[in-house]
Structure 1
């Protein structure tokens, strides 16, 4: 038995974070035991545990998802902790030692805010020289530099993070970082250089693309605390003794890039002065560090028709190119970044006003070069300024994103779906740089709340997002403070006067609840509860001021953004009535607040907001549903929200589902939804017994569909369903990002329904799950693994050549699962090679309760899943092709005289076996089976 993944506040060995009351979590692996009987957690000030400050003793109360010891933390102190677990098998194991280290907590700052005596547009380097004459025991650097900063100690970069101190609501709070620099210092002379860049603090940023949103001067605050072996300490602090020179960085900005002149040498000391920024906004970091997480090599050097030299990284990525320089002094090398080629030539008009370039002037020496205070979203890089033939091995794409562990993976028998899954994952990597941004390339890169909200479920399967979202929702709460509970559509606001909108502002309730259910740590609810409640209270005030209808009918709404069913071509809001969307979210958020209050044992608040939610649902039903259950609105998104958010009147769901299917039939089974409807399409369909339609829509390849972009060679998810047209031309330059993750939210359905892993709200954190895969004959197999907070779950299903269903499940230690086997008969199910003896028949399914372990099920389903249903094309599509029509006429003659093809033309061959009026016998299907491969070849 092995204990792994020891995390404090869901971060591995954090240094200098704002920890509050620390929460410990861990995972047990490599055991055949089923349950944790007891555990013990010890916390000490030394790694030998001679100075223990907390010892739980052997306890049944310790939860591996989140345990908060009762300890008072001291400033600038490293604590060590370990856990011992007793299992039901009698096994006992003690973990390796983990640690966490506090920041300054409430200590006052000895350093002062300083700013260089330079024009505010000149990038500075702040310098401090000092001597060390004794043996160092430990050294820490506490730093906040505005806008961005990088530290060099003795000519070496300090730490492995970039773009510090990241992006937050700088007018509300300022993060400082802590660095362990014990090994960076040396006996004798030492020199610290801190480079400052404009960043989002004072560079061009925000919807208005203005400069100096949060401040107009570079600034630095720091303290270096050096502890010696003899017990004495030395503090190097920011004050007026620091020196300043002009930087080789002549300009930097998030949108425009960076200019770096290596020939520039400045030995003048311009000095610094104090600046009154105060200390009340300072807070130890919440942001995870942004790191180089992967590196890519160019796959090709392209010579374009215009004669340009372009590097193709083979993947739309976020970060920069690092490259070796061998050029004469004064050579100016220019790298320009773009997402797509047009007519074979470099293109970047969709970046709007962002220049997205890096200019480097060589000093004549060979070296490795990179930008410091910017990043780019790109696949292609145009290189100019180098006379000789360039070597692609000299260039490396550095992929940056917040330091999150990848936790989920899905692989299927369909290569297009596999590529789509990777596209979604790459979209998350590219947009999760401290803030969940809308896009990483053009002159925007903002924390649009709607994108983050709809994608949060997918994101949290793909990666461990607890700490990432914990920081983001903290920013949300801070932005609400002087807005009476209103949640802006963009967080941080970044100087823009933005309003709120349903679906976007509901991020305040949805993300904390999503994270609680995913990770089982109610700490995020405790932190965010007042924010969650304040947002619902804001809507309720709007409601009360408009006659207390319990509908949200006032104010600006973004609607179903970028939906395809709008009547007004000038509007981006789609065709679904905005008040319906707003009211649906009003209910959804009020209900979440009620559930959170219940978790936090706030009974009076639970009753109040449950009653409010019920009133809203009642008002929606009265306004939008007839007595027979007909929904007054006919848009896909309206049906989807009604089903997904449980707004349909009791006993009327069948009617709404029937109308939803009819709606999709009218739309030729293609989606028309935007940012609001798209995340829930497949979940609403599978939830309603329309699994076949969910798969059909997922697998569509023509515009508008998820796979259209994949067939066009996309390596990330696009902002628009047709960002690139079939001829390869970009569909427009306004609002056309090729790395926009919101539509990738369907991957949550792939985890929950295709692979079948669902956490249970009453037992959060995957301690107890419902494993209910929904196989479909359009796939031969689906494999999923998810490293949950309790350990690795695996689900695999396969349809073998004889039509049997095979399932593989791995349930981690100390977890349980309710397994639902579809289309099964209890007496026909085999598990691990033996007849199933425990479980129950529930309708068409067999249900089994399982503990930790590995299980293989196999049975012949009650409906056919065999290969001749693997044709995705509808009969209507097939008869458009003369050759396939001829094959069908030969094989299905009984259908044509009766007009059956016309009647059920939206059905594919693989769906027809479930239709009682389909006039084809099993013998005829066998005959048809011989023809299907030919049909597939002809049609494809």
Structure 2
């Protein structure tokens, strides 16, 4: 039996990242198979400037423990050694380096530099900036602190600095601008050195938004801010004396693509202009965007019209890399799209986005890949190529925020495994610096409801805490700055169609409820009370100021998105679903008020706790008076209405909850097990059925193969989640609605059911100190395996049924320093850490397959239903 510490981390930073706090909380994650291992105490040794201070604490805490030493100064580096002692007398030690970034704005002496101003309202051609400087001796330590108002890619003496792409990413620039810190000592040399960088418009001044979008939202001058320090001295920084020039990149826009001319070399160097440095520079916890994978070309297709298209076999986000030197003349054009429509590149869903890269041949092409754009695509149409295209000519480069993968799922059901892969790839494609709604068309925006729906699944599959936590900070900053308590629909916020500038948002439920719901979801995953504390003002502002109320406290009837993209909504009116939008808003309001009461209790705000508890009770009475008949029927006879009423525990008695569950079951059976929910209720529909003893009905819905369903998308060849249940129609036509994406993660919220119910693992308390392991087989599944890297270590559950489904066997792993309540069939045990093999009697929770409720239809008008066995 062994125990070890596999990772020491600070706050929610990735290993090695510079910290923007002077007292970082420390966490350590365990590995090993030690049985029933519990930490009794720990020691933290902090070595600074050659001196070590050791702190011993009698505690089982190992997640986000307080910094024990005096506060770090800007630029200070410390070696932190953690030793965890077990109750059994064993111990484990691990070490990590902590480095403070520039903690104060006056630590910066650099300014911003740029080229002369561009004309108003045009795309900005990327440009080069450089500074040459002499060194008499190479310093022992050197750090480059660097960012851009725009995007940058830097080199020092011709060597690429770091592996970030699209740096520094996208933030709500009015409130913060992220910068990066790099160790560049190995790049320096005696004599003349040159620090240079490409700078592009990126999100800062590039076109963003639909219906044509808006340019120059935060500024019209892309610029660079860089401060190179060695052994405590500034060696070079952006100020007077920098030069700028243009080069081979003729244009590079996020939406429209990049154009290069391989025959063009760097032009004349001219004096750069100095601009004011922003006063909100921060070192981010969000991991940077990096190249995270490479997908080879699968097939070369000749379309019916004779076009050449590369199929990479996977819908992804990134760009195409040239693998070979291609000689010839002329211009090669690469158009990107997610799907083929009747054999041709399906570009209509892109709307006005060109998603096109062009390369003028004549110079070096091998190794070329775009610098300041990205595309959502599976297919790339190549024209102007001087010979036949081969699969070895190009590779698809996958890019996204490079967070740690923390969960996996697999089962005996091939199509469910593909569904899970689609959920994962949808997540990867929509976390390029901020959580977005889609990565391909003229949008790619941080819509709040999409993230709210998907956050519980996302925070299992990857460690998104740093990114989502900072994005929630932007939500709060924009909300509180605008006043009236209303979070924007989109964060970072941009002008919507018809607006000339960013305007305060109107009040809308579900989207704005991200302010209350998502912080609690992150807290559940991490146990980090600090996240709640940081978002508390945002929560209160939304509930106390942001919602127009009737005398009863419920919502006034204003525009609501409702159960957005209910499958029965018309293609051109996604809000016009089966459920009263104000009913949806009021159900979410009660849920959010209850969350606020819970969070107030966690934070010790007792008066707020009592106030919100009383308000929730009053709202529940008002909800019933408004929407629930004397016999318990909810006003909207829809899946959504009953799902959210059950999930948000709006019933006043167990009998009423059972009646609602029976009605939901009836609606699902009448719908022939097809999904009847949109953004507001899809995350909960299977969970609600399972929680109310309708497990086989949930499995039957999950395994449905006709549209609308999750597996319909899989049957149609999807490799990511779709925005609409029928983004592609059965006849191969793209949905006629203007708003159609093939990479949207919201309906991937089904991942929570895969993890928690099929896989059987969930947190019994925030942060996973206590864990529930209870797989619930159903449908045609015979086995499944799920794992999740908790803050303490890995929890796993691998189960299988015997041939006649009477015995379930499971191998479970409980991480050190935690306990688990394990239910395997009829066997319930409280287990400590280690790997355990268990067996119990099993009886399926209901008959399979459940029968639909069908009514008479004329011949030829039958409702189709096929479950994917």
TM-score by length of 1: 0.86
1:738 aligns with 2:734: no
Match of 1:836 in 2: none
DSSP 3-state at the match of 1:97: strand
Residues 663, 874 of structure 1: CA spacing in aligned structure 2 closer, same or farther, 3 A cutoff?
closer
1:580 aligns with 2:589: no
Residues 634, 71 of structure 1: CA spacing in aligned structure 2 closer, same or farther, 3 A cutoff?
farther
CA contact (8 A) 1:13 1:99 kept: no
- Match for 1:714 among 711, 714, 718? 718
Match of 1:327 in 2: 326
- 1:524-923 counterparts in 2 under 5 A? 524-539=531-546, 542-543=548-549, 546-547=550-551, 549-566=552-569, 570=573, 572-651=575-654, 652-732=656-736, 734-760=738-764, 763-803=765-805, 804-822=807-825, 824=826, 846-862=827-843
Match of 2:528 in 1: 521
CA contact (8 A) 1:255 1:442 kept: yes
The answer to which of 8-17 and 550-559 deviates more is: 8-17
DSSP 3-state at the match of 2:270: coil
| 2: CA distance, partners of 1:679 / 1:56 | 45
Residues 468, 672 of structure 1: CA spacing in aligned structure 2 closer, same or farther, 3 A cutoff?
same
Deviations 1:311-365 (A, max 9, x none): 1111000011111352346532221111111222223121110000111123433
- 1:178-577 counterparts in 2 under 5 A? 178-207=181-210, 209-227=213-231, 233-276=233-276, 278-328=277-327, 330-365=329-364, 367-484=366-483, 485-496=485-496, 497=503, 498-539=505-546, 542-543=548-549, 546-547=550-551, 549-566=552-569, 570=573, 572-577=575-580
| 1: CA distance, partners of 2:792 / 2:370 | 40
| 1: CA distance, partners of 2:850 / 2:763 | 31
DSSP 3-state at the match of 1:56: strand
DSSP 3-state at the match of 2:749: helix
The answer to which of 853-862 and 150-159 deviates more is: 853-862
- Match for 1:30 among 32, 35, 38? 32
Residues 495, 566 of structure 1: CA spacing in aligned structure 2 closer, same or farther, 3 A cutoff?
closer
CA drift at 1:570:
3.9
CA contact (8 A) 1:318 1:376 kept: yes
DSSP 3-state at the match of 2:653: coil
CA drift at 1:430:
0.3
CA contact (8 A) 1:244 1:270 kept: yes
Residues 732, 5 of structure 1: CA spacing in aligned structure 2 closer, same or farther, 3 A cutoff?
farther
Residues 329, 480 of structure 1: CA spacing in aligned structure 2 closer, same or farther, 3 A cutoff?
same
CA contact (8 A) 1:75 1:107 kept: no
What is the alpha-carbon root mean square deviation over aligned residues? Answer: 2.6
- 1:69-108 counterparts in 2 under 5 A? 69=68, 71-108=70-107
Residues 777, 658 of structure 1: CA spacing in aligned structure 2 closer, same or farther, 3 A cutoff?
closer
Match of 2:499 in 1: none
| 2: CA distance, partners of 1:147 / 1:500 | 31
Residues 637, 871 of structure 1: CA spacing in aligned structure 2 closer, same or farther, 3 A cutoff?
closer
Residues 848, 753 of structure 1: CA spacing in aligned structure 2 closer, same or farther, 3 A cutoff?
same
Residues 875, 534 of structure 1: CA spacing in aligned structure 2 closer, same or farther, 3 A cutoff?
closer
CA contact (8 A) 2:84 2:91 kept: yes
CA drift at 1:196:
0.9
CA contact (8 A) 1:431 1:438 kept: yes
Match of 1:886 in 2: none
| 2: CA distance, partners of 1:336 / 1:551 | 49
DSSP 3-state at the match of 2:658: helix
Equivalenced residues, count: 848
CA contact (8 A) 1:437 1:447 kept: yes
CA drift at 1:417:
0.3
| 1: CA distance, partners of 2:490 / 2:22 | 27
CA drift at 1:295:
1.0
The answer to which of 684-693 and 299-308 deviates more is: 299-308
CA contact (8 A) 2:258 2:357 kept: yes
| 1: CA distance, partners of 2:571 / 2:379 | 36
CA drift at 1:243:
0.7
CA drift at 1:116:
1.1
CA drift at 1:237:
1.2
DSSP 3-state at the match of 2:395: strand
| 1: CA distance, partners of 2:436 / 2:573 | 25
CA contact (8 A) 1:486 1:500 kept: yes
The answer to which of 504-513 and 604-613 deviates more is: 604-613
CA drift at 1:858:
2.1
Larger radius of gyration: 1
CA drift at 1:907:
12
Deviations 1:918-939 (A, max 9, x none): xxxxxxxxxxxxxxxxxx9xx9
| 2: CA distance, partners of 1:225 / 1:298 | 43
Residues 288, 366 of structure 1: CA spacing in aligned structure 2 closer, same or farther, 3 A cutoff?
closer
The answer to which of 719-728 and 66-75 deviates more is: 66-75
CA contact (8 A) 1:553 1:582 kept: no
Residues 338, 151 of structure 1: CA spacing in aligned structure 2 closer, same or farther, 3 A cutoff?
same
CA drift at 1:566:
4.6
| 2: CA distance, partners of 1:620 / 1:459 | 31
